Amino acid sequence: MTTLLYVTATHVLASSQDTTVKSNPIIYTELFVGLSGGRAGGLGFGFEGNYQSKNNLFSARYVGNVRLDNTGFISPFIPIPNIQTSSTTEEFSILYGYRKAINGHALSISGGLSRNKYTFYGDNGNNNYKRDYYLGIPFELNYQFFKREKKRIYIYGIIPIGKPTALGSGFGIKAIGNISRNPYLGLALSSGLGYFKKY
């Protein structure tokens, strides 16, 4: 009787281990473009890597902003605007935040610490060229959309390959900014690739 109970218990334990499905990690990257205002604002683009553990979100972010000014026309006879770079900003930051994913969308908010470089190219007047390095407090608010369940990957959206996978693409909108002596605040559209939730 004891031997029978042992064999049965061993069989049940082995069966439960065989049916255990390992879930994927939540890790993804994003590319984004947008516009921002403020002294360090302008046309912006960036890249971000993200990892989530429970509801804790860890991110590494790069943001580059370029402010362009129209200084007139190339010549009186050629009606083409003379566009010049007024300033550029580069930000390298580490952020920590909270992220909640439900079905096929997620909301997150993060803040952290950044190292920034601001370059002003002058305005042909009293304000001359200058470069400034400083620390800042970066922040962002994200709203993302992604697939609700595992699906096969399609080449050109037509040809299916492989088995259903948790790997997929996503898109969304994010509010980004930096609190510093050269601040900015803006909106961007994002496109991502990775594992956006546990499937």
The per-residue pLDDT for range 78-109, each reduced to its tens digit, is 677 767 788 999 999 999 999 999 999 999 99
> Which position has the token pair 């605040």?
185
- Sign of the alpha-carbon dihedral angle for 23, 29, 30, 31: negative
69 pLDDT more than 50: yes
Higher per-residue pLDDT: 92 or 75: 92
Structure tokens that stand for 152 in this block: 């096969």
**What's the whole-number mean pLDDT along residues 121-127?**
73
- CB-based contact 139:176 (threshold 8 Å): yes
Closest C-alpha among 134, 127, 113 to residue 182 = 134
Distance (Å, whole) CA 184 – CA 40: 5
Q: Which two tokens stand for residue 164?
A: 């259903």
Beta bridge mates, 98: 56, 109
> Which two tokens mark 68?
């362009």
Tens of pLDDT, residues 21-43? 578 999 999 999 999 999 999 99
3-state helix, strand, coil in the chain (%, to 5): 10, 70, 20
**Please, are residues 169 and 191 in contact by the beta-carbon 8 Å criterion?**
yes
Instruction: List the domains of the chain with CATH numbers.
Output: 24-195 (2.40.160.20)
Mean pLDDT of the chain: 86
The predicted model gives 108-136 an average pLDDT of 90
Q: State yes or no: pLDDT of 66 exceeds 90.
A: yes
Q: What whole-number distance in Å separates Cα of residue 26 and Cα of residue 198?
A: 6
Q: What is the reported pLDDT for 122?
A: 78
Task: Identify the pLDDT of residue 17.
Answer: 46
